[in-house]
Amino acid sequence: MTSPAPTEPLGRRERMLLAGLAAALAVLLFWLRGGLHPEAPLEELARRSPDLTIALANGKPTLVEFYADWCEACRAMAPAMAAIEREHRDALDVVLLNVDNPRWQPQLEQYGVNGIPQLEFFDASGRDLGRSLGARRPAELEALTAAVLAGGPLPQLAGVGALSDLAEAPAAAAPVDAAGVGARATPSTPIGPRSHG
């Protein structure tokens, strides 16, 4: 029986080759993870977002997005939201509130957030103009933004509507329309933005 040949330590050339391969893999991994800009548009926009109380009191219309980092629809909308924020920075506040952050629990309850993305629209005086439920295409976001900037009614899109308080609604009126948009009802069974039943 022959014994295996003794292994010799790697030579200089082999070590250099392995070091080069390791460096190439590190560069590839760095590039795949976002390079020098590891934050996605959603995270960048959330970091630039003004505080909600300041935004509602500073005399500019406000667009609020309730989102989560794990929400694919929120992530898909992020580039268009970032473009709106850049384009209208001087005339419009864009505020992002992460539904997973317990700091925003009072706002989640106040605005009846039970799914994401949910957009809330406010005029320059801080009056609530309405909401949008679900993902929006860039053209829809631009139309909604234009309406908010003009102080006019929101465009008629599925999942978009003005809000009314139940206390103000006539007894015979349905508090929520067929698309699930309308009055802010307090459900008897609490539902949250993380439930997708």
Determine which one of 46, 52, 64, 71 is catalytic: 71
6 preceded by cis ω (within 30°)?
A: no
Number of alpha helices (DSSP H) and beta strands (DSSP E) in the chain: 6, 5
- Beta strand segments in 37-196, E: 62-67, 93-98, 118-122, 128-133, 160-161
User: What is the DSSP-derived secondary structure letter of residue 176?
Assistant: B
Q: Outline where 33-114 has alpha helix (H).
A: 41-48, 52-57, 72-87, 105-110
Q: What's the chain's length in residues?
A: 197
CA distance 82 to 41: 7
- Determine whether 84 is an active site residue: no
CA distance 42 to 47: 9
Determine which one of 45, 46, 74, 78 is catalytic: 74
Terminus-to-terminus CA distance in the chain, angstroms? Answer: 68
- Determine whether 196 is an active site residue: no
Strand order from edge to edge, sheet including 62-67: 93-98, 62-67, 118-122, 128-133, 160-161
User: Which residues are catalytic, by number?
Assistant: 71, 74
